[in-house]
Structure 1
């Protein structure tokens, strides 16, 4: 069985650079050293032997010279470029180069340096370490505010690695993505004013894409955190209570006022207060029940007018009033 790799050779500063793909099968031919080093008088009749300086050390352990006189450099062990990069056995910010010293025994003893440049194969797709994330963004976030996200990982290099990100949603989103290709930073950017009372959460996907259109998906759930921007609102601005008997017993409930607030949590919780000072009535701060607290006397006072305040419990509380 004879296998050959597609390689490209160039000579630079008396060194030879041979380009070959990663993860080639064992025994695949990388280069014919006799043809490489003796291009002008290439012949099997030339009396020359080739050998590696070090057989079992890095990076020599990946290569083998078959038929020392013919000088066929082959793959001895599968080369995983991404693993070499991860272990920092080669500089993957530029090239993944493995240098070999070749011993040449002919009329004289000589050592030639050749460089095997390992070419990346797109054998990884982008992945997110977490497939799902939950984010909380305050509803008064400024337009242009950025929420840093954990970017996807792609163990390939160059065009085989991540080239862009996109947002995918079935509904319109007030967000965009910002990606710095050099630093690998990914951020979610607020593009429109948020209003939790209109939309309290968003579901969408972030798609990472590499040069061969392989993708990784991150599912995102955003909760809009409430601020105290909605005031309480009474159901009625005027409550009229007729025909209360002056014999009504103390602690009787004569009316209940009620207000609502579109905020959530403590921002939407309401307490009620009597603004007018009338000793004959009191209000339950929680329920809004108005109770009689003294004996009523029609001859002394035929009508009572109460001013009531609804106040939420949020920071910088907001209010509404009724009569």
Structure 2
């Protein structure tokens, strides 16, 4: 089988055509990457005639197009970030087949940038940890973002959008460095877990600015942060515990916190100075009772409560458990019944009697309160003291009757005791100080008297102390000694005699020389007497008159001294009271030279006469006044010799002469 078709062939004569020629060897166009396809952006036409144009580069022909008039357009959108310049060849011919009559040119297309890209961070998620003790300006992290756009469209600036309400952080606007400024505890008010998000923006500088926001996760190391150190909100705890609390009961739960109450699971609790009466759970801080409590034995337990974390930080506060008493025992009356007499003539308010009850409990439960049940119209009882007083005057018709009342002592509603009180009403005498008022007045008066007495004792003690401290010390004055010397008796034990003399080699006055007398000393030896004279001579000139006082410490030896003097012939003579002769002032200094001892060492206190005969002293005064030469001391041996001569001249008879030395 076969088929056929007719074909017609026309033979024509070939016409001569001119060869098209581009005006330039190359063309350059600038195209924005945002240019819409099929929009003419350039022209490579060689004339107004229709020619055949084509792009020789097959890849370029996919993006660019040229029509019969030589106009260039886009087949697809361009992306400068992918390729910013294109170079391809365009050919033009008069006939599509006659390529030997064609010409070519080079087309350069430069793609310009459009801000069509947003900044992109190198990491989509950043995490930053804040540590305690960081310095201001320390860089935490560098947040790097890039932009594929060119020039200003690709230049990026950084800033913090949110999450930094208290100015803790800052970011460098050009480099994106995230820096620490200063810590603020208020940040933890909103984020008590120490974690929050910081939002940082990266924005370019194009005409239409594009930006990207980066979330930065901020976390705080609470375990080492100073604000997480445990502490107690109060300086100390005082916990009341009933004495009837059972063992293993939770009596208190300790709670340590930090500045903003951030929950921490690393805190551990402990009790210090605990006597094992209480125990604590180290994790939750609950304190349990381990031993039974007894208020009457111990009223409080003191210890220290410790809270510490794993970083060695701790807080200590005092903890005291106060044992509260419980009314365990009822009151007990001192006797089961009482009998009181009520006089018929007693006035209202008089004390009839008193009841007393004791309670083994301590504290407030150990003080019972008294009451009468049912209430009685005749008597009443004071609530705290148990004193029974007359409430109303008894009716005389109740003479010789006995009434019975019930008196209750209660420490609480559950613990109470009863006692029976018998009231004997009759013609009984009224006891003194029965009134409560008078009893109170007596107590107040006694207290006031005691206080006044103590005050007076204190004032007297102060006066005595002031007197003793202001009194000058007494200077012991030389003592005087008065002896009665018996003529003709000399003690052989004496080694020397203390004697006063006038100027040497002068005779005594006549009235003295004719007097039969002898002097002897039985009190001291010659050496001791000489030392006494020397020491007394130095201080004699400062004395204006003899001291007539008596030291109390020498009175006790007067009797023994007197007995001794009598045994050797020296007898004390009583001196009759007579007015003392007033000596002239000119003689006073000379008479002081004759004093070697004090009177108090020998004789009891009393007036002392210088001589048995006042005339003899007057003659002595006259004789002393007639002398103009100052008295001097004479050796004791010469005086003793003169006395012996006088003794030999006078007849031997026993006479007594009072001599004051």
Q: Same fold (TM over 0.5)?
A: yes
Evaluate the alpha carbon distance shift between residue 33 and residue 237 of structure 1 in structure 2; reply closer, same or farther with a 3 A threshold.
Answer: same
Name the SS of the counterpart of 2:207 in structure 1. Answer: coil
Evaluate the alpha carbon distance shift between residue 311 and residue 157 of structure 1 in structure 2; reply closer, same or farther with a 3 A threshold.
Answer: same
Residue 308 of structure 2 is aligned to residue 311 of structure 1: yes
Q: Look up the match of 2:255.
A: 258
Q: Which has the higher strand share?
A: 1
Give 1:64 shift: 3.0
Give 1:291 shift: 3.0
Evaluate the alpha carbon distance shift between residue 50 and residue 291 of structure 1 in structure 2; reply closer, same or farther with a 3 A threshold.
Answer: closer
The count of residues paired between Structure 1 and Structure 2 equals 275
Name the SS of the counterpart of 1:306 in structure 2. Answer: strand
> Quick check: 1:308–1:322 contact (8 Å CA) kept in 2?
yes
Per-residue CA deviation, residues 78-121 of structure 1 (Å, 9 max, x unaligned), is 33225xx44xxx2xxxxx11011234669987654331111223
Q: Look up the match of 1:21.
A: 32
Residue 56 of structure 2 is aligned to residue 53 of structure 1: yes
Give 1:293 shift: 1.8
Once residues 158 and 318 of structure 1 are traced to their aligned partners in structure 2, the CA distance between those partners, rounded to angstroms, is 56
Once residues 93 and 247 of structure 2 are traced to their aligned partners in structure 1, the CA distance between those partners, rounded to angstroms, is 118
Once residues 311 and 140 of structure 2 are traced to their aligned partners in structure 1, the CA distance between those partners, rounded to angstroms, is 26
Name the SS of the counterpart of 1:234 in structure 2. Answer: coil
Q: Look up the match of 1:224.
A: 219
Structure 2 gap ranges (5+)? 1-23, 95-99, 319-661
Q: Look up the match of 1:137.
A: 129
Per-residue CA deviation, residues 261-280 of structure 1 (Å, 9 max, x unaligned), is 2463536x533101224222
Name the SS of the counterpart of 2:59 in structure 1. Answer: coil
Give 1:256 shift: 4.2
Once residues 297 and 66 of structure 1 are traced to their aligned partners in structure 2, the CA distance between those partners, rounded to angstroms, is 114
Give 1:238 shift: 2.6
The two structures, once aligned, show a CA RMSD in angstroms of 4.3
> Quick check: 1:81–1:119 contact (8 Å CA) kept in 2?
no
Residues 56-67 of structure 1: matches in 2 within 5 Å? 57-67=58-68
Per-residue CA deviation, residues 15-54 of structure 1 (Å, 9 max, x unaligned), is 653222234344433333357xxxxxxx769x99754323
TM-score by length of 2: 0.35
Give 1:217 shift: 4.8
Q: Which has the higher helix share?
A: 2
Q: Look up the match of 2:141.
A: 147
Structure 1 gap ranges (5+)? 1-10, 36-42, 91-95, 181-185
Evaluate the alpha carbon distance shift between residue 207 and residue 213 of structure 1 in structure 2; reply closer, same or farther with a 3 A threshold.
Answer: farther
Residue 190 of structure 2 is aligned to residue 189 of structure 1: no
Evaluate the alpha carbon distance shift between residue 81 and residue 48 of structure 1 in structure 2; reply closer, same or farther with a 3 A threshold.
Answer: same
> Which has more radius of gyration?
2
> Quick check: 2:158–2:176 contact (8 Å CA) kept in 1?
no
Give 1:232 shift: 1.4
